[in-house]
Amino acid sequence: MLAVLLEFDRRLHRIVEGSSEPILGQISLAWWRDVIKADAPPKGEPLIGRIQALRENTGWPFDAAMLAMIDGWEARLSVPDDRNAFADGRGAGLFRAFAGPGEWLGLEAAARCWALAGSENRANDGPDMRALRNWPRRLRPLSLLALAGRGGGPLAGFRLSWHGLTGR
């Protein structure tokens, strides 16, 4: 599931970064919004097929979270300096889609940290490690993304490996 969500995020990134004019990017994002909302989306696009397979095999609806990802990328396209709208849409959308129903302490902070990781305006406040440690094991890929978004100097790889193995 995470691979498909990250592929969708990369596709949205390419649309936004590859648009010579904001209106052209908005048209492409609107097309993806319509695809996500559609009961019978068009065929022929491999990513749409993978999203459809997820819909059939996942125990919770995640369309609203994917729409939030589109909203985040559209905010980046329309108002590039508004990092809050971008991070909240992109990060929270992806993390919520993967996490499913339920409330997880620190999910929004972790999503924000990941969403801003590649930007020049990195998130200064990373997720609270105590909160990440209390997440169920199935959410460990998200906590790894959040920790990778924090950076962390020369020991970052060790920290990621240790957390991946132990959850601590």
The mean of the pLDDT values for the chain is 88
Question: In this structure, which amino acid lies at residue 131?
Answer: A
Tell me, what's the pLDDT at 148?
Answer: 83
pLDDT at 124: 54
**125: amino acid identity, one letter:** D
Mean pLDDT check: name the lowest of 1-15, 113-127, 129-143. 113-127
Q: Tell me, letter by letter, the H, E, C secondary structure of 124-153.
A: CCCCCHHHHHCCCHHHHHHHHHHHHHHCCH
- 18 token code pair: 């590859």
Measured CA to CA, the distance from residue 128 to residue 124 in angstroms comes to 12
First to last CA, the chain: 23
Which of 12-16, 58-62, 147-151 is modeled with the greatest confidence? 12-16
| Count of positions (residues) in the chain | 168
Does the structure show a pLDDT above 90 at 62? yes
Residue 122 has pLDDT above 70, yes or no: no
Task: Output DSSP code: residue 59.
Answer: S
| Structural contact between residues 157 and 168, judged by C-beta atoms closer than 8 angstroms | no
Domain extents for the chain? Answer: 1-102, 108-168
